[in-house]
Amino acid sequence: METKIPEQTELVDQIIDVIVSEGMVERDKVRPDATIESLGLKSIDIVMILTALEEKFDVYIPMDGPFHEAKDVKTLIDAMATYISKAKSSSPEASLGQETK
């Protein structure tokens, strides 16, 4: 499991990788303007994506809120990236990492 906070671009790329693998969609279709519906993602796919992100980034992601309400890829990725960044920056490991810099 990763413990560092990735750069925003790296984080977005990692989230897209998870959407592609867990949602079983082609990477070139995961564009910011694509809708969740156009990718064919169902509620269970979103749950699988969130679960995979929890494992990948070692954070708890609630299944409700902005993730559940997202209608397009940009909104979904932005919500995930923001949540993961906040969760990782407030974790004790992140605090320890910041103290040593």
Task: Check if the beta carbon of residue 46 is closer than 8 Å to that of residue 67.
Answer: yes
For residue 79, what pLDDT band results from cuts at 50, 70 and 90? confident
Continuous H helices in the chain: 8-23, 43-57, 66-69, 73-89, 92-99
Question: Tens digits of per-residue pLDDT, 2-43?
Answer: 445 567 788 888 989 999 999 999 999 998 889 988 999 888
Higher pLDDT, 49 or 70: 49
Please give the Cα distance from 28 to 50 (Å, whole number).
20
Q: In the structure, what pLDDT confidence band is assigned to residue 98 with cuts at 50, 70 and 90?
A: very low
Angle between helices 73-89 and 43-57 (to 10 degrees): 30
**DSSP code of 27?**
G
Residue range 58-77, pLDDT digits in tens: 888 887 777 777 888 888 88
